[in-house]
Structure 1
Amino acid sequence: MKYRSFKEEQVAEVGLGTWQLGSADWGNVDEEAALQILEAYTNAGGNFIDTADVYGMGVSETVIGKFLKTVGKKIYIATKLGRRGDDGNGWPQNFTYDAMKRQAEDSLQHLGVSQLFLEQLHCIPTEEMRSGKVFDHLRKLQQEGLIKYFGASVETSEEALLCLEQEGLASLQIIFNLFRQHVADEVFAKAKEKGVALIVRVPLASGLLSGKFTQETKFESNDHRNFNANGESFNAGETFSGIDFKEGVNLSDKIKTLLPDERMAQWAIRWILDHPEVTTVIPGASKISQVDSNVEASDLAPLSADVHQQLRKLYDEQIYNKIRGHF
């Protein structure tokens, strides 16, 4: 595992996304399996885990908290707030200082830590980011010692650029993959100029870029790849990066022909890591074999300039105009 700088810390360039560990929106992952996945990741040298308070409404954070009690080395946990709808909360009530403090305190309790390493806004409405009040609240939480750093997970380049104007922003979490290449053109240089870490989510386009799906692949009823395939429940971009599933299978087959060998998932992550502005990529895993596959990307040699050019040509000519949702 190789590491990259996040402020004064060194974090694994291949992190672990844990939406799956909430046993919601990705099918079921029981606690024992979740703990084994976390152990496999850290045993492979991983030290950066991303979660959110709404992943199973505290389930993902809680299982991570249990795991942290068993680990003898430093693990950096990034969580998120802003999307809860329990106890009468929800938009716009979620974005008062009191509500944000309550959400952060709940995450502290779930994780069993005294300070959150990174608290991120969780794809909140653009107008809330534009007003700037939520960032003032995060700064106050930072001053009070509840959080060490703050960042934002965003849906669009417009939102990313809005956040980059905020003083003290430590990180941006963005969708960036072979089905979403233009983000590098619009955001990366500015993030580098500002010294803001880039955390890449949805790196495998909800599994499409693993190369393992066919036109006949089916998903469980509680898997967002079933119920949100066309953006029925939340932004279509969060599922298959906004690409129609069957179209995505065909495009994945075309991408596969441009890669050095059959290890499509690893090369798709390697392609992301070839961008030096990226701090860490956070593929999820619902089984240990997926952890091993994801981590392997850190050891691969960079793709050649010719392969990068071919992949961008395919994107510009056949993929970009097929993206749906906010991007």
Structure 2
Amino acid sequence: MNYRKLGKTGFSISEISLGTWQVGGRWGEPFSHENADKILNAAVDAGINFIDTADVYGDGESEKAVGRLVRSRSEQIFVATKCGRRLQPHTADAYQPAALRQFVEDSLRNMQLETLDLVQLHCPPTEVYYRPEIFELFDRLREEGKIQHLGVSIEKVEEGLKAIEFPNVTTVQVIFNMFRQRPPELFFKEAARRDIGLIVRVPLASGLLTGKFSPQTHFAPDDHRAFNRHGEAFDKGETFAGVDYNTGLEAVAELQEALGPQAPLAAQALRWILMFDEVSCVIPGASSPEQILANLKAAELPALSPEQMQAVREVYDRRIRPLVHYTW
């Protein structure tokens, strides 16, 4: 396992880490603590030391599983959680310091930890980034010893650029993959200049970049890949990176031909992300220990050649850029 610095937190974290949206159960299934324990322990056994969760994952059950892991292991494990999505309705006006404080305290209780390594605002509405009192709250929470660092999880590049103007923001979690190539154009450079840790989520475009889907692939009705393709439930960009499904399949076929069969497309897609030095880590999800091991194969791959990088860019420019580039 290779490790990279998480910006000005100073944490040295595994470049391939773990996102826990589906840990403990596949989409729509009840949360399984037995399955979660297997996945989380397999991750740590493999050298992963950074785990991203949220209070809404499994309605708090994911946080409980992560906390149990941290308390049961001797290794140093950095935990990032998120807050804000429990607000109903999820509007800018609903973001109030008292509500966010309560969410942080709830996360501490869920995980049975004394302090949280990293708390991230969970994709708040854009207006929230213009309210200093929201960010000032986390200075108070740090002074009280309840958190160590503040980060944000964003939908839009513009939100990331605004967020890093606040000096207490140490990390930004952003969607970045072969189908979402806008962030390096400006945002990555600004983040590096301010020593911001970059956490990459949705690295496989909700599975599209595994190369395992087809027009006949069926998703369960309660799977976001079935019900949120047009943003019916939350930001469209969280599902298939906002790319039309059939267009994505056509682009995947071209990528597979361009990159060759030397490694699975999923591993090559993760390795492509790690080609960008500004990235601190990528957090693919896993619903089994076997998926952990498959994801980690990306770290063993050689660097993509300039010709391969250009081929990925060419597919994006021709098929994907006109549809999504300036949306997020």
TM more than 0.5: yes
Partner residue in 2 for 1:265: 266
CA contact (8 A) 1:175 1:203 kept: yes
Q: CA deviation at 1:23?
A: 4.2
Q: CA deviation at 1:93?
A: 5.6
Q: In 2, Cα distance between the equivalents of 1:309 and 1:325?
A: 21
CA contact (8 A) 2:18 2:283 kept: yes
Q: In 1, Cα distance between the equivalents of 2:29 and 2:242?
A: 20
Partner residue in 1 for 2:219: 219
Over 3 Å counting, the alpha-carbon distance change for 1:231 and 1:24 in structure 2 is farther
CA contact (8 A) 1:164 1:194 kept: yes
- Give the SS at the match of 2:216: coil
Which ranges in structure 1 are unaligned for 5 or more consecutive residues?
Answer: none
The 5 A counterparts of 1:145-164 are 145-164=145-164
Q: Deviations over 1:131-182 (max 9, x none)?
A: 2221111222112211100010000111010011111211000000000012
- Structure 1 stretch 16-25 or stretch 172-181: which is displaced more? 16-25
The answer to whether structure 1 residue 44 and structure 2 residue 34 are counterparts is no
The 5 A counterparts of 1:53-72 are 53-72=55-74
Partner residue in 1 for 2:126: 126
Q: In 1, Cα distance between the equivalents of 2:166 and 2:202?
A: 24
Q: CA deviation at 1:26?
A: 5.6
Partner residue in 1 for 2:294: 293
Q: In 2, Cα distance between the equivalents of 1:255 and 1:2?
A: 26
Partner residue in 2 for 1:275: 276
Which ranges in structure 2 are unaligned for 5 or more consecutive residues?
Answer: none
- Structure 1 stretch 90-99 or stretch 301-310: which is displaced more? 90-99
Q: Deviations over 1:11-56 (max 9, x none)?
A: 0000100010264746455221111111111111000000111112
Partner residue in 2 for 1:101: 101
Aligned pairs, how many? 325
Partner residue in 2 for 1:73: 75
Partner residue in 1 for 2:10: 8
Over 3 Å counting, the alpha-carbon distance change for 1:311 and 1:324 in structure 2 is closer
Partner residue in 2 for 1:284: 285
Q: CA deviation at 1:81?
A: 0.4
The answer to whether structure 1 residue 111 and structure 2 residue 111 are counterparts is yes
Over 3 Å counting, the alpha-carbon distance change for 1:22 and 1:80 in structure 2 is farther
CA contact (8 A) 1:26 1:224 kept: no
- Give the SS at the match of 1:216: coil
Over 3 Å counting, the alpha-carbon distance change for 1:205 and 1:123 in structure 2 is same
Q: In 2, Cα distance between the equivalents of 1:71 and 1:120?
A: 24
Partner residue in 2 for 1:202: 202
Q: Deviations over 1:278-320 (max 9, x none)?
A: 0000000111221111111112111011111111121112111
Output the TM-score relative to the length of structure 2.
0.95
- Structure 1 stretch 95-104 or stretch 197-206: which is displaced more? 95-104
Q: Tell me which amino acid in the other structure corresponds to 2:76.
A: K
Q: In 2, Cα distance between the equivalents of 1:17 and 1:152?
A: 15
- Structure 1 stretch 153-162 or stretch 125-134: which is displaced more? 125-134
- Structure 1 stretch 68-77 or stretch 315-324: which is displaced more? 315-324
CA contact (8 A) 1:206 1:240 kept: yes
Q: In 1, Cα distance between the equivalents of 2:62 and 2:269?
A: 26
Over 3 Å counting, the alpha-carbon distance change for 1:29 and 1:304 in structure 2 is farther
Partner residue in 2 for 1:319: 320
| C-alpha RMSD of the superposition | 1.7
Q: Tell me which amino acid in the other structure corresponds to 2:150.
A: F
Q: Tell me which amino acid in the other structure corresponds to 1:310.
A: A
Q: In 1, Cα distance between the equivalents of 2:92 and 2:50?
A: 30
- Give the SS at the match of 1:91: coil
CA contact (8 A) 2:251 2:315 kept: no
CA contact (8 A) 1:22 1:55 kept: no
Partner residue in 1 for 2:19: 17
The 5 A counterparts of 1:241-256 are 241-256=241-256
Q: Deviations over 1:106-141 (max 9, x none)?
A: 111111110000000000010111222211112221
- Give the SS at the match of 1:69: helix
- Structure 1 stretch 243-252 or stretch 199-208: which is displaced more? 243-252
